[in-house]
Amino acid sequence: MSWSIGHSVYRKDGLEKVTGRAKYTGDHSSKDMLHIKMVVSSYAHAKIKAINTTKALKVSGVRGIVLGQPFPLTGEEIKDRPPIAYDKVRYHGEPVAVVVADTALQAQKAAELIEVTYEPLPVVNSPKNALLPGAPLVHENLAVYERIEHVYPEANTNIADRIKIRKGCMNEGWKASHEMVEASFSFSQSDHMAMETRCVIAEIHPDGCVVFTSATQSPYMIKHLMSDYFNLEDGKIIVKTPLVGGAFGGKVAVQLELIAYMASLAVGGRPVKLVNTREEDMITSPVHIGLDATIKLGATKDGQLTAAEILYMFDTGAYSDKGATISRAAAVTSTGPYHIDNVWCDSLCVYTNHPYVTAYRGFGHSELSFAFERAMDMLAKKLDMNPLELRMKNAILPGQTTPTQIRLNESTVGNLPNCIETLKQQMNWNEGQVIPINDRKVRAKGISCIWKTSTIDSDASSGVILVFNRDGSVNIESGVVEIGMGTKTVLAQMLAEKLKMDVNKIFVKMEIDTQSIPEHWKTVASRGTLMAGRALLKAADDAIVQMKDIASRVLMCSPDELEVGNERVYVRDEPDIYIKVKDICYGYKYPHGYAIGGQVIGRGQYMLRHLTHIDPKTGVGRPGPEYTVAAQGAEIEFDTRDYTYKILKAYSVIDAGIVLNRKLAKGQVMGAMEMGLNFGSSETFVFSEQGEVLNSRLRTYTPFRYGDHPEYVVSFIETPYIESAYGARGLGEHGLIGMPAALANALSVASGMELNRLPLTPEAIWRKKIGVNEY
């Protein structure tokens, strides 16, 4: 019998969230708090000639103004970014000055009075243009920046990193192929658009402790990076993170914390609060990466893929921060979930004068999948083969190798053919891809296949502490941030399962405090359930040992004879001989007064096993543990006259391993699918010729609203991932990944054109049709 695993247990944060009692970072304020307003660049690339703060300083209530400094330079892989621009600005929206004042209003008034004189510079407006000979350099000093060992910037170019995959022999691959397709694909940057804009409160105490309250996915990384950038003692940096109002990767970046720290420093350590406006959140803080890609595929007559030559040019914007890591993740899984013997891939992280990027749900995968899965459909057309059959024929299987030449097994790769077959049934694929409705409208279907592993630091770790209460209930302390995905509810379910107890007697601490809660590296990469789950099981084992130890003395038997369950510790084959957990979880007191043991405190930690860096020349290596694979589809109703369309149904068949909480899992997948469809159909930044973002507000950015949602058809294949607690695979991102490609494939067959640029607005389709330049 299952105690909790697989049940749709309600969210542990549910009541707080429906009563308005849930507190987010911005909900915290106090009378002694000062307020920050940023002045941001109106140019995408310009020399800062002068900054005049005279008028601003005269505004009543202004306590300080902070301008850019040459150091420290910051960045996770390459230190290329001053927290406040110094000497020149490299993107529209970049912070150039910061005002601290008694009220937000005074800060804003003063910010408007700061006069910045710029000398505009030529702009790099796309990755392709960035690579042209003679392109302006975004970073003149790229060669001398400090960097980690495994990133390879190319001096005097706009290339921040180049990741190479060299598998097999391309000559042989092309020789073996009978048909070939080659095409280019692209989309611009866009935004995460979490409903809570990024915000932070910072304060420096007299003893030197720096305390942040931050809306972040990576409180422990703030601690680490602050220590590194500003040479502070690790123990003196304390980060608190209450509930976070959506993140989608966007709150991985450590940005506002640096500015708030500098601002607090400027006012004697007083508490300061910085809340992004929506417009700042969309362009000043980091964004979703853009891509220019070229893909060349070769296959035999019967559709066996023989060669893939792939060039990904990612638009990291003005700074490399996570852009290099994303480019690497895309290289690792560059071919999509297919077995190909011969692969050549260069994945480039390219500087432009666009906002800089950070992680975005899927971490490079929806991006590469759009390009690769479009190429697969083009190949199928050329082969005159059913696109679903082409995918089935090449689907990655246990025993085969990845582009980084890791051999997979059933546990690590799951069952993609099963996903494809299930999708085929659910979409009623055999009825055809385009079904006429009337003389104007058609119904059309498109599919895509995806896979994803995580490419996080190979020494990333996660810790869990379990603390028992006197009544036998348990508190879970984990460093996973509750950003909406419900991992902490799932952790409670795992513990209920392990201790065979009622999940309602398990409490989870939602807020993070890095001073007391063990680290969970970052709440990213769909890794919470695996890493914190394993740490939790280890902590539970630790607690069980302690309970059995005390109980064995009370029950006068060996601890080996005992089991824990039903809130009792009992003799295995005589369960009537037991002691209640509540009578020993704070130690045991004998009738005459002697006492033994003490509060039971379980501790556990987990670190991913056997991960490696990838080889700089060939890409060989093991950057992540297991893969989640999926087959996805979109069904649309397309108007062939005006190119408008409605998304009728969206499908996901995901091998998620064992599903731990069905409704939470389905919710993650549906939400991600919606995001992917939104990205594919309408989301994009519109850049001017000068690199300015023209639509940095929700009214012009067109997020999906209630009623735009299609019917979701979600199903799970459950091939266990043996390494994880209860067999789950990563799931938080995967619903998004194949959606832009599936939509583009459906629209391409519906319109009879190869639609290789996102987003697919009716206007974009019309432009393609009549041959007007796509913007």
Partner 1 sequence: MNKSEITLNVNSEERSVYVRHSDTLLYVLREELGLTGAKPGCLNGDCGACTVDVDGQAMKSCLMLAIEAVGKKITTVEGLQNIPLKTAFIKKFAFQCGYCTPGFLMNSNSLINNYPQADDIQIKDCLESNICRCTGYKEIEEAVKSVLADGSTGNGNY
Binding residues for partner 1 (CB under 8 A): 8, 10-11, 13-24, 26-27, 29, 193-197, 243-248, 275, 277-278, 483-486, 663-664, 667-668, 670-671, 673-675, 697-699, 703-709, 712
Closest by Cα among 482, 484, 340 to 403: 340
- Residue 296 or residue 649: which is nearer to partner 1 going by CB? 649
Q: How far is the CB of 674 from partner 1 (least distance, A)?
A: 4
The smaller minimum CB distance to partner 1, of residues 13 and 228, is found at 13
Neighbouring-strand partners of residue 206: none
Give residue 15's region: left, alpha or beta (phi > 0; psi -120 to 50): alpha
- Nearest to partner 1 of 486, 619 (CB atom): 486
Nearer to partner 1, 629 or 650 (CB): 650
Nearer to partner 1, 194 or 494 (CB): 194
Provide, rounded to whole angstroms, the least separation between the CB of residue 275 and partner 1. 8
Q: Least CB distance from residue 405 to partner 1, whole Å?
A: 37
What is the residue whose two structure tokens read 């731990």? 660
Q: How far apart are CA 177 and CA 164, in angstroms?
A: 23
Helix 219-230 with 256-266: angle, nearest 10 deg: 50
* 214 vs 277: CA distance, rounded Å: 15
When the beta carbons of 297 and 503 are compared against partner 1, the nearer one is 503
* Amino acid residing at 180: M
Rounded distance between C-alpha atoms, residue 575 and residue 558, angstroms: 15
Beta-bridge partners for 314: 291, 349
Q: Tokens in use for 578?
A: 């037991």
**What's the DSSP call for residue 311?**
E
Half-sphere exposure (CA, 13 Å, Cβ side) for 328? 30
What is the spatial distance between Cα 624 and Cα 606, in angstroms, rounded to a whole number? 15
Q: State the nearest-atom distance from the C-beta of 177 to partner 1, in Å.
A: 40
Q: How far is the CB of 754 from partner 1 (least distance, A)?
A: 28
Query: What number of residues does the chain have?
Result: 775
Q: Which is nearer to partner 1, 407 or 697 (CB)?
A: 697
Q: In whole angstroms, how close is the CB of 41 to partner 1 at the nearest point?
A: 21
Task: Say how far apart CA 646 and CA 682 lie, in whole Å.
Answer: 12
Which one, 491 or 562, has the nearer CB to partner 1? 491
**Contact criterion met (CB below 8 Å) for 318 and 40:** no
Strands (E), 304-383: 305-317, 342-351
Give me the least distance between CB of 102 and partner 1, in Å please.
Answer: 11
Nearer to partner 1, 195 or 595 (CB): 195
User: What is the secondary structure of 688-705 as a DSSP string?
Assistant: PTTS-BS--SHHHH----
What secondary structure, in 3-state letters, does 487-553 show?
Answer: HHHHHHHHHHHHHCCCHHHEEECCCEECCCCCCECCCCCCCHHHHHHHHHHHHHHHHHHHHHHHHHH
Question: Of the two residues 467 and 506, which places its CB atom closer to partner 1 in the complex?
Answer: 506
Report the distance separating Cα 764 and Cα 426, nearest Å.
Answer: 30
Write the CB contacts of 707 (distance below 8 Å, at least 6 apart in sequence): none
- What is the enclosing helix (H) or strand (E) of 162? strand 159-167
Minimum distance of partner 1 from residue 228's CB (angstroms): 29
**Which residues are within 8 A (CB) of 602 and not within 5 positions of it... i.e. 6 or more apart?**
464, 465, 466, 539, 540, 541, 542, 543, 544, 546
Residue 682: CB minimum distance to partner 1, A: 13
CB of 169 to partner 1, least distance (A): 44
Residue with Cβ nearer partner 1 (245 or 337):
245
Q: Which lies closer to partner 1 via its Cβ, residue 80 or residue 674?
A: 674
Q: CA dist 401 to 338, 413, 453, Å?
A: 9, 10, 14
- Of 295, 304, 291, 314, the closest CA to residue 341 belongs to 304
Cβ-contact 80, 125 below 8 angstroms: no
CA distances from 128 to 297, 681, 686, 754 (A): 21, 23, 17, 20
Nearer to partner 1, 37 or 90 (CB): 37
Least Cβ distance, residue 17 to partner 1 (angstroms): 3
Least distance CB 526 / partner 1 (angstroms): 14
Cα–Cα distance, 9 to 665 (Å, whole number): 11
Closer CB to partner 1, 387 or 671, in the complex: 671
Nearer to partner 1, 512 or 550 (CB): 512
Q: Of the two residues 659 and 664, which places its CB atom closer to partner 1 in the complex? A: 664
Q: How far is the CB of 489 from partner 1 (least distance, A)?
A: 10
Kindly state the smallest distance separating residue 669's Cβ from partner 1, in Å. Answer: 9
The secondary element (H helix, E strand) that includes residue 477 is strand 474-478
The minimum distance between CB 21 and partner 1, in angstroms, equals 8
Q: Which is nearer to partner 1, 16 or 112 (CB)?
A: 16
Residue pair 595/606 in contact (Cβ under 8 Å)? The answer is no
Cis peptide before 72 (omega within 30 of 0): yes
Closest approach of Cβ 711 to partner 1, in Å? 8
What is the DSSP code (8-state) at residue 727? G
Cα–Cα distance, 272 to 547 (Å, whole number): 46
- For residues 243 and 551, which CB has a smaller minimum distance to partner 1 in the complex? 243
Per the CB < 8 A criterion, the answer to whether 45 and 90 are in contact is yes
Give bridge partners of residue 48 from the DSSP assignment: 118
Shortest distance, position 10 Cβ to partner 1, whole Å: 5
Residue 775: CB minimum distance to partner 1, A: 23
CA distances 315 to 130, 175, 591, Å, are 9, 33, 71
Indicate the SS3 state at residue 163. Answer: strand
Name the E strands within 121-270.
159-167, 179-187, 199-204, 210-214, 237-241
